[in-house]
Structure 1
Amino acid sequence: MLRGLYTAAAGLITQQRRHDTVTQNIANINTPGYKQETAVQRAFPEVLLAMTGGYSDNPNRTVGRLNMGVFAEESLSPYVRGLVTPSGETTDFAVESNIIVNDPATGQPMNFDSSGKYVDENGQVTYRPEAFFMVRDEEGNVRYTRDGHFRLDELGTLRTSSGAEVLDENGDPITLTGSVKDLKVNGRGQIQGQFREGDQQTEITLGISIIDQPYQLIREGNGSFRLDTQSGATARLLQEDDVVEIKQGYLEGSNVDATQSMVDLMAAQRAYESNQRVIQFYDASLDKAVNQVGRV
């Protein structure tokens, strides 16, 4: 009888994690460049039930299979682009990318679906590469972000809203002089009319990296991600034939679907309540078995 109690308890934990994931998405619905998380649920391995004894011609008669509950296996982030809207700030940037990848079997461009996924005839899944800004955190680690809400500090260093340094294509922090109002950046991320520290004018280009497997990125908070090299994911610099455009004075919003998030939130709450009632039922049954039947 306790099998159902453990199954319901596993359901409670899973729905709580699902609820936490959805509430995090709702809390960041207005965060530039935020990528929503989706909790992936997985059932425990099936257990085969069988009856010993039985008829002579079938001594081990199979009853069936039973799952012992579910658990929240992981959280995945769909890296589809959020809505790009004008902000009017010269230090705000949005990345619009449509990287073309050819199918090695046919030589034709892959037709990615709305989630950025392509499945070939053999069932092999390929995800569309995505473009990210290169930044460096306080510990000197290179990270990647789609949050283009940048600012200049008192020394003229271009930083993210969380304080990370924005890097150029050479991996160096971008330091500018002059008025922010005069800052001009073209569609390839090249900064025009600005100077690096020193007396000579230098060409500066925003560091844009192409992540070939964006689903292998690991979320680190503050809108930044790190590359999981152990999974085989790689990052490369923007190339001339990449279909990527940098839009100055625009920001990419989060890709959180508010309507679907509210539906998922209510579904998680209802499932949590259902598992809770199952536990209450088992608790009442155990109470009768111990305190009432046990006295007879």
Structure 2
Amino acid sequence: MIRGLYTSAWSMIANSKKMDVITNNLANVNTAGYKKDTVVFESFPELLTKRINDSKNSSNIGSMELSSDVGEIYTYFTQGQLNQTNNRMDIAISDDNRGEKASPAFFAIGVLDPSDNNNIKEYYTKDGSFVLNSNNQLVTRDGNFVLGQNGPVTLEPGEFAVDDSGNIVQNGVVIDALRITQFSDATQLRKFRDNLIENSGSETSAFTGKVMQGFSEESNVNVIDEMVDMITVMRAYEANQKLLQSQDSLLEKAVNEVGVVR
């Protein structure tokens, strides 16, 4: 009975963690380039159950799982819908990124690292809603540098164009090229902060997609799917809650009534 209390309580904790992930997905449904997360549950190791006889012999009667927990947070790197904005500062990557063996491509972003004398550390993003800072450098809305082949992209005053390969053209001259990084193994990518991604071991491959100026990539969160998952998690949480309350009542009866001499 005590084991049942722990099983129900731990399942409630796991479902609470999944609800946090769903809530975060819904909060970022309008965040450009955001990639949805999902919780992967895993069971605790199975325990071998034995039947103990009156004699010294015992026999196996099967295995038993006590509960489940969050195994990992898996991120779907499938491409979101591309919307035409006609804003020259909006740039999107069309990599036709589908299926489980995805090879997503990202803009390379430079972030100042205070712990390393403000050296620039490279991260990646799908959010191409860029702006210009006071130094006419192309940056994200959080102020991080957009990296080109020559470092942070610095533009001359005036209009600029970006072709399908990511080359930046001003006054008919290619002044730089966006650093587009495509990864072979999306499972090695991890979310950082500010809608950024860090690479924890994936190899890069040649960019096979297309850069589109005047377009913005939406998040790949499906609101209906997230709401259905939210209802499912709530019901699972409530079921475990009721089980815990029932076991607590039975335990109370066992403590207070079993063995009472009347």
- Cα 1:25/1:155, change in 2 over 3 Å: same
Amino acid at match of 2:87: E
- Cα 1:69/1:55, change in 2 over 3 Å: same
Amino acid at match of 1:248: Q
Contact 1:92 1:250 in 2 (8 A): yes
Q: Of the candidates 256, 263, 274, which is equivalent to residue 228 of structure 2?
A: 263
Instruction: Say whether 1:235 aligns with 2:212.
Output: no
Aligned positions of 1:1-296 closer than 5 A: 1-53=1-53, 59-98=57-96, 114=98, 116-117=99-100, 127-139=101-113, 140-170=120-150, 172-179=151-158, 182-193=159-170, 203-229=175-201, 233-235=202-204, 239=206, 242-293=207-258, 296=261
- How far the C-alpha of 1:138 sits from its partner, in A, is 2.3
- How far the C-alpha of 1:6 sits from its partner, in A, is 0.8
Contact 1:178 1:194 in 2 (8 A): no
Helix, strand or coil for the counterpart of 1:30? coil
- How far the C-alpha of 1:3 sits from its partner, in A, is 1.1
- How far the C-alpha of 1:60 sits from its partner, in A, is 2.9
Helix, strand or coil for the counterpart of 1:135? strand
Helix, strand or coil for the counterpart of 2:192? strand
Aligned-partner Cα distance in 1 for 2:136–2:154: 5
- Superposition TM-score, scaled by structure 1 size: 0.81
Aligned-partner Cα distance in 2 for 1:163–1:83: 25
- Cα 1:262/1:235, change in 2 over 3 Å: same
CA RMSD of aligned residues (A): 2.0
- How far the C-alpha of 1:174 sits from its partner, in A, is 0.5
Contact 1:169 1:208 in 2 (8 A): no
Contact 1:187 1:246 in 2 (8 A): yes
More strand by share: 2
Consecutive unaligned residues in structure 2, runs of 5 or more: 114-119
Aligned-partner Cα distance in 1 for 2:36–2:83: 18
Helix, strand or coil for the counterpart of 2:78? coil
- Cα 1:202/1:82, change in 2 over 3 Å: closer
Consecutive unaligned residues in structure 1, runs of 5 or more: 100-113, 118-126, 196-200
Helix, strand or coil for the counterpart of 1:76? strand
- Cα 1:212/1:262, change in 2 over 3 Å: same
Aligned-partner Cα distance in 2 for 1:286–1:294: 13
- How far the C-alpha of 1:32 sits from its partner, in A, is 0.5
Aligned-partner Cα distance in 2 for 1:33–1:224: 10
Contact 1:78 1:215 in 2 (8 A): no
- How far the C-alpha of 1:281 sits from its partner, in A, is 1.1
- How far the C-alpha of 1:169 sits from its partner, in A, is 2.3
Aligned-partner Cα distance in 2 for 1:136–1:178: 22
Aligned-partner Cα distance in 1 for 2:60–2:107: 57
- How far the C-alpha of 1:89 sits from its partner, in A, is 1.2
Q: Which 4+ stretches in 1 moved above 4 angstroms? A: none
How many residues get paired? 255
- Cα 1:68/1:194, change in 2 over 3 Å: farther
Amino acid at match of 1:21: V
